[in-house]
Amino acid sequence: MLERARRRKRTEITFILPAEQPCGHVSVVGDFNDWQPGTHPFVVRGDGTRAVTIALPSERRYGFRYLAHGDYWFDEEQADGHDGRNSIVHT
Enumerate the domain spans of the chain: 2-90
- Return the CATH fold of 2-90: Immunoglobulin-like (2.60.40)
Cis peptide before 22 (omega within 30 of 0): yes
Q: What pLDDT, on the 0 to 100 scale, is given for residue 83?
A: 94
* pTM exceeds cut of 0.85: yes
Distance, in Å, from the CA atom of 48 to the CA atom of 33, rounded to the nearest integer, reads 26
Q: What pLDDT, on the 0 to 100 scale, is given for residue 21?
A: 82
User: In the chain, where do the E strands start and end?
Assistant: 2-6, 10-17, 26-30, 43-44, 50-57, 61-68, 72-74, 81-82, 87-90
Residue 2 has pLDDT above 90, yes or no: yes
Average pLDDT over residues 16-22: 87
Q: How many CB atoms lie within 10 A of CB 11?
A: 18
Average pLDDT over residues 72-87: 95
31-75 per-position pLDDT tens digit? 999 999 999 999 999 999 999 999 999 999 999 999 999 899 999
